[in-house]
Amino acid sequence: MSKKTTDLDRRQFFKTGAIALGSLAIVGAGATYLKSNKKNEIPATNFLRPPGAIDENIFVAECIKCGLCVQICPIQAIKLADIDTGLDYGTPYIDVRNQACDFSCDSLQCVETCPTAVLDFQQFKRVGEEAIEKYDEEMKGKQMSKDYNPFRVQIVAMKEQVKMGMAKLNQGTCLAFQGKGFEGIAREENFKGINRSPYTNDRKATPVTDKKYKEEICDICVKECPIGEKAIVMEETKDASGNIVKRPKVLDGCTGCGVCVMVCPTEEPSIIVEPVKA
């Protein structure tokens, strides 16, 4: 072997060794950080997880942090937690104020693609199959029309089965509770969030800032809800003076998707989503 070749091999050895040591140092630093940061010794409980998430403690322990749910989400609603979140580091969550889950995929792709089933697809598969069976039973003896679409029935049932969290209204800041309307775009002009709006009959998700409103009483959260009247409605009630007024009311059918939070036009959202504890 020539001296030149030997020198190259030696340099390559040291280069490879340095890279390996550097990688170990980074991993070690991360481990040391997590160990020393006492407040992060238990998982956070305020993360809104993607649809189908199992019990939080089991979720954190068994999620392999592969990021497949992040990659497959068509609207990029799912993010991975940063290192400063302790044991939650690398696990998926949704920040609904910045980008809510609007069910654009129509098939809960994030759940179906999860390799460890910490996002449990079986519950959605079951209700989808039951919805098709019920639909087909109702269609027996009837002439099939071009409107026959069991898939549509299936995806509605699957979406309604989702329970990521529950929306909660802040009556003190909600425009509707103050008897106020709203005109214009719901969020700041540079806001990047998108949704497939039932209000404008979008065929696919489009920028929130593309939608303009002119509401006598603000009801954007109701208009934009992808679940509809099973989740949130404008309810008629009487104010302190006895006048009939309309106010938003969150119902048990709320899935916690967070679209209402994303489109709320007040500077601090007047509606939040509290994650469920499976």
Reported pTM: 0.81
The answer to whether residue 14 is domain-embedded is: no
- Inside any domain, residue 216: yes
Side-chain half-sphere of 190: how many Cα atoms within 13 Å? 0
Say if 236 falls within a structural domain: yes
Residue with tokens 């027996």: 140
49, 62, 165, 186, 273 from 276: Cα distances, Å: 9, 19, 5, 27, 9
With cut-offs at 50, 70 and 90, classify the pLDDT of residue 263: very high
Mean pLDDT of 203-225: 97
Q: What average pLDDT does range 8-37 have in this prediction? A: 43
Query: Counting every residue, how long is the chain?
Result: 278
260 shares a domain with 226: yes
Q: Does residue 128 fall inside a structural domain?
A: yes
Task: Choose the final residue of a domain: 108, 132, 161.
Answer: 161
The one-character DSSP state at 142 is S
What is the number of structural domains in the chain? 2
Give the C-alpha separation, 98 to 77, whole Å: 8
Mean pLDDT along residues 21-27: 40
Name the band, by pLDDT with cuts 50, 70 and 90, for residue 137: confident
Q: How far apart are CA 16 and CA 20, in angstroms?
A: 6
Find the mean pLDDT for residues 221-228: 97
Q: Is residue 41 very low, low, confident or very high in pLDDT (cuts 50, 70, 90)?
A: very low
pLDDT in tens, 50-80: 999 999 999 999 999 999 999 999 999 999 9
d(CA 42, CA 57): 9
On whether residue 224 sits in a domain, the answer given is yes
Residues 216, 200, single domain; the answer is yes
Of the residues 139, 161, 183, which one is the last residue of a structural domain? 161
Domain match, 173 and 157 both:
no
Please report whether residue 112 resides in a domain: no
Structure tokens at 186: 């719901």
Domain around 128:
122-161
Residue with the bigger pLDDT between 137 and 259: it is 259
Same domain, 140 and 223: no
The answer on 258 and 172 residing in a single domain is: yes
Q: What is the mean pLDDT of residues 170-186?
A: 96
Torsion angle defined by CA atoms of residues 35, 36, 38 and 40, in that order, rounded to the nearest 10 degrees: -50
- Indicate whether 191 pLDDT > 50: yes
Check residue 240 and give its pLDDT: 79
Task: For residue 244, give the H/E element and its range.
Answer: strand 244-250
Same domain, 209 and 265: yes
**Both 173 and 264 in a single domain?**
yes
In this model, does residue 93 exceed pLDDT 60?
yes
| Residue where one domain finishes, among candidates 142, 161, 180 | 161
Q: Is residue 7 part of a domain?
A: no
Residues 157 and 178 in one domain: no
Task: Report how far Cα 114 is from the mean position of its chain's Cα atoms.
Answer: 15
**Of residues 209, 169, 172, 173, the one with CA closest to residue 192:** 209
Are 200 and 175 members of one domain? yes
Q: Are residues 241 and 190 in the same domain?
A: yes
**Does a structural domain hold residue 22?**
no
Q: Mean pLDDT score of the chain, rounded to an integer?
A: 86
Phi, psi of 266 (to 5 degrees): -75, 150
Question: What DSSP element (H or E) covers 262?
Answer: helix 259-263
